[in-house]
Structure 1
Amino acid sequence: MTLSSTIECLFAGGTGALDLEGHRSGIFKRQIHGHARIEVDGLVGDEHADSSVHGGPEKAVHQYAAENYARLADAFAERANALVPGSLGENLSAYGLSECNVHIGDVFAAGTAVLQVSQPRSPCWKINHRFGVDRMSVYVMQTRITGWYYRVISPGVVRAGDQMTLLERQTDQVSIDRFWQVQLAHRPTIEDLRILANLPGLAPDWKRRLSERMRWLSAQSCPPS
């Protein structure tokens, strides 16, 4: 299939304080004007406050669909002016690529770099603290407008105005949106979880978590001896 979009903006940068308690976060990105180098661990110059849950090869580059901000602004009108591309900590912003048409394992050319979709983003409390709004992260999760991460297949250079073009699709079954539909179900079928766990390109940590959930559900369905 043909799937492409123009990169509107690039973001990277250092960490900042989220609240009076001084929690640090890398959600405060700065727009990059000009080109950016993408290496195996992400955009050169990008930073993360907690490397145990952010960054690294399986979360090297974060993309968020630019059109999602209109939905967020409608839902949280009091913070509409602050809900602009880059404010959720993404590295890439583009229109036309979304959770509904981007699939786990998709391989994209972005400038001269080649990226593979490795997993969805899991929103956390830091989004709430970033905007001073309770339950924004819950809304992002429940509506499945979470964004997604890439691993870097081939480092390269990218800039605003470059095309992102789908080179290869591993599965027609599981978009980011479909992944969350299964994962967020109260009791998904074991077969649906198995499909997710076996997805080519899915990050190893997600494969482990899905396998553990399958084992737990299987144990629950077995009658006591």
Structure 2
Amino acid sequence: MRVGLEGLACDAQGDRKHHGGPEKALHHYARDHYPTWRQLIGPRALLDTPGAFGENLTTNGLTEESVAVGDTFRLGGALLQVSQGRQPCWKLNARFAVPDMALRVQQTGLTGWYYRVLEEGYIKRGDELRLVDRLSPEWTLRRLWRALYVDTMNLDELAAMSTLSHLADGWRGYAEKRLATRQVEDWSRRLSEGA
């Protein structure tokens, strides 16, 4: 499969305003999280194969605890860089038939992450995802998640987050806006359709 600057040539997003684009070219979700979801929401046929969370890539052994924004990976002929974590939306509620699934994903921090494509190329199932560079290993996706959703007005964390040049503009923008307004954005529309 060819990986271009906006993702897989064979892939499409129904909502280009909120999904896809250069900063969300590929979505990675840890296969390690699937057993946790079986415990939390019960058995679902959807959880029997990869792709339940809309991911393009899945692995074992990489999670939000160990992956950091700016981490750069070689996958087949493509070079990928972690751009941001995933912000779950209400479409997960419908997909899993769990009314608050998006909120649960956000609250657990088991969100997955997005890549930008630094070098286009071809990939195939079974290609090794090999770490080639770490720009800010201290800024794990778990730390970013904590700053956005748990310790939401930690001004020191927000200030540091706003300076990460390799963090997607949208996520840096959250930090900058909170610093300026001293308010946390309303997540209800994203988490619950029609809210």
The C-alpha deviation readout for 1:166-211, integer Å capped at 9, x for no partner, is 1111112111111111111354321101111112310112112210
Write the distance in 1 (CA, Å) between the matches of 2:58 and 2:137.
Answer: 23
Q: 2:72 aligns with which of 107, 129, 143?
A: 107
What aligned pairs does 1:202-221 form with structure 2 within 5 A after superposition?
202-217=167-182
Matched, 1:82 2:46: yes
Is residue 192 from structure 1 mapped to residue 154 from structure 2 by the alignment?
no
Q: Could you give the per-residue CA deviations for residues 31-64 of structure 1, whole angstroms, max 9, x where no partner exists?
A: xxxxx11000100011111100001111001100
Identical amino acids, percent of aligned pairs:
39
C-alpha change, 1:107 and 1:128, in structure 2 (3 Å) is: same
- The equivalent residue for 1:18 is none
> What is the TM-score when the length of structure 1 is the normalising length?
0.78
Match of 2:112 in 1: 147
Could you say what secondary structure the match of 1:67 adopts?
A: helix
Aligned to 1:69: 34
Please state how far the C-alpha of 1:160 moved relative to its aligned partner.
1.3
Contact 1:182 1:193 in 2 (8 A): yes
Distance 2:63 2:152 in 1: 26
Write the distance in 1 (CA, Å) between the matches of 2:24 and 2:175: 18
Aligned residue pairs, count: 182
Structure 1 pair 78–163 and aligned structure 2 pair: CA distance change class (3 A): closer
Q: Which residues of structure 2 form unaligned runs of 5+?
A: 184-195
Provide the rounded CA distance (Å) in 2 between the counterparts of 1:98 and 1:186. 20
Write the letter of the residue equivalent to 2:46. A
Q: Which runs of 5+ in 1 are unaligned?
A: 1-35, 219-225
Asked if residue 50 in structure 1 is aligned to residue 20 in structure 2, the reply is no
1:96 is aligned to 2:64 = no
Q: Is the 8 A contact 1:105 1:199 kept in 2?
A: no
Length-normalised TM-score, structure 2 = 0.89
One-letter amino acid of the counterpart of residue 69, structure 2: I
CA distance in structure 1 between the aligned counterparts of 2:33 and 2:11, rounded to whole angstroms: 23
Off by >4 Å, runs of 4+ in structure 1: none
Deviations 1:88-144 (A, max 9, x none): 111001111111111011111011100010010100110010111111111111110
Which residue of structure 1 aligns with residue 94 of structure 2? 129
1:120 maps to 85
Deviation at 1:217, TM superposition (A): 2.1
1:148/1:163 Cα in 2 relative to 1: closer, same or farther (>3 Å)? same
The CA deviation at 1:78 is 4.5
1:172 aligned partner = 137
Partner Cα distance (1:172, 1:117) in 2: 11
Alignment correspondent of 2:191: none
1:60 corresponds to 2:20:
no
Give the Cα–Cα distance (whole angstroms) in 2 for the partners of residues 109 and 183 of structure 1: 28
Aligned ranges 1:8-23 → 2 under 5 Å: none
User: CA contact under 8 A between 2:153 and 2:178: conserved in structure 1?
Assistant: no
Structure number with higher helix proportion: 2
Partner of residue 3 from structure 2, selected from 17, 35, 38: 38
- Indicate the RMSD between aligned Cα atoms, in angstroms: 1.3
